[in-house]
């Protein structure tokens, strides 16, 4: 099939693109605006493949989106383009409302008109797949419960609210116009090619440079961690096999407190990078507790039973194996993150091994 991936130069989107090219026979169009988090270095290893195309465009640009759909003629739209950093959404929510909400509306309208013009057989297999987040469900607190497909929305941050709004648009377009849609909610992703502002790569790179490892509050916030390549497999499987109108929660079955995550990173670095920066006796000595951020949810956790029962997907990595692979990747791929930290990644493409 022909699969259009929005945000395919981002962290999860690039994992999806790499998976599609390496492990399927589908053709891929990567549509990405290339904001600060979009990095063509992350897809350099598949960029010359004959089944891969890239277009730099903004999903809020209706004319550009329509042109892409008319030229590429997709069977599936995997919609990952989004502003996604909670701290940035607190400091500047407008960009999140524009990209995550308005951009999804623009894409839905283009998809609706594209789908309506398809032959009946192609209409039946077309899917618009909205990739959402568990953050739309809010805070589990100390309830001991799990997020499921039927959990009510209760977003806490501007980021989560913008994604919740986009999800509601997708459901409305399915109900009102019959557009064949899918929605998936994922837990916290981690793995190779993760932009260094996020927790795990931020801690790895700060530790390697002998800088403080800032932990919000007492580090007792709990997240369910999902290895990004496991998530990419799940997304492609849902997009190509799930019935229209379905929703799935996707998690790694790996609940960890934030402080535990940072401590495990430090332990792995002691093993894999024993030559510590000057003046650092132990990586764990760099941990610093800082003031918590506003509206910080205490716990997220996902029940991924439905996708396992109905589609047969399960994560291949547990947190220990995935984190080891992640730390080892960052140690081996200094050129990739060095270009991110310097800003040179905005200037051109770099070949990076996976």
- Cβ atoms of 99 and 59 within 8 Å: the answer is yes
Closest CA to 164 of 90, 82, 225: 82
Q: Identify the H or E element spanning 225.
A: strand 222-227
Smallest CA-to-CA distance from 39 within 8, 18, 70 is with: 8
Q: What angle do CA 219, 224, 226 make, to 5 degrees?
A: 125
Size of the chain in residues? 354
Residues with a known catalytic role: 134-135, 159
Range list of β-strands (E), 231-340: 247-250, 255-257, 287-290
User: Which tokens sit at 336?
Assistant: 């990739």
Distances (CA, A) of 19 to 26, 45, 57, 193, 236: 10, 11, 22, 14, 8
- Number of helices (H) and strands (E) in the chain: give both, helices first: 13, 12
């Amino acid at each position: 099939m022909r699969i259009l991936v929005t945000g395919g130069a981002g962290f999860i989107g690039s994992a999806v693109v790499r998976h599609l090219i390496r492990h399927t026979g589908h053709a891929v169009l990567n549509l990405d605006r290339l904001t600060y988090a979009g990095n063509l270095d992350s897809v350099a290893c598949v960029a010359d493949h004959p089944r891969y195309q890239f277009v730099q465009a903004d999903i809020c640009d209706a004319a550009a989106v329509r042109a892409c759909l008319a030229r590429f003629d997709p069977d599936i739209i995997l919609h990952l383009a989004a502003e996604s950093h909670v701290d940035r959404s607190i400091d500047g929510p407008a960009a999140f409302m524009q990209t995550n909400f308005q951009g999804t509306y623009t894409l839905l309208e283009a998809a609706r008109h594209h789908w309506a013009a398809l032959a009946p057989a192609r209409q039946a297999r077309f899917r618009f797949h909205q990739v959402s987040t568990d953050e739309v469900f809010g805070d589990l607190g100390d309830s001991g419960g799990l997020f499921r497909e039927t959990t009510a929305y209760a977003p806490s941050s501007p980021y989560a609210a913008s994604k919740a709004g986009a999800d509601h648009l997708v459901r409305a377009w399915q109900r009102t116009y019959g557009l064949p849609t899918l929605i998936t909610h994922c837990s916290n992703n981690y793995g190779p090619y993760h932009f260094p502002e996020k927790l795990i790569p931020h801690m790895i790179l700060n530790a390697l440079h002998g800088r403080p490892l800032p932990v919000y509050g007492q580090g007792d916030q709990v997240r369910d961690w999902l290895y990004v390549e496991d998530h990419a497999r799940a997304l492609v499987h849902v997009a190509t096999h799930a019935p229209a109108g379905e929703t799935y929660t996707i998690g790694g079955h790996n609940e960890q407190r934030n402080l535990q995550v940072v401590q495990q990173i430090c332990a792995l670095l002691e093993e894999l990078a024993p030559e510590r920066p000057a003046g650092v006796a132990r990586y764990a000595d760099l941990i610093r507790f800082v003031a918590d951020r506003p509206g910080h949810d205490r716990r997220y956790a996902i029940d991924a039973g439905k996708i396992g029962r109905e589609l047969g997907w399960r994560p291949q990595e547990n947190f220990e194996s995935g984190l080891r692979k992640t730390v080892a990747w960052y140690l081996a791929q200094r050129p990739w993150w060095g270009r991110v930290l310097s800003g040179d990644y905005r200037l051109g493409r770099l070949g990076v091994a996976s």
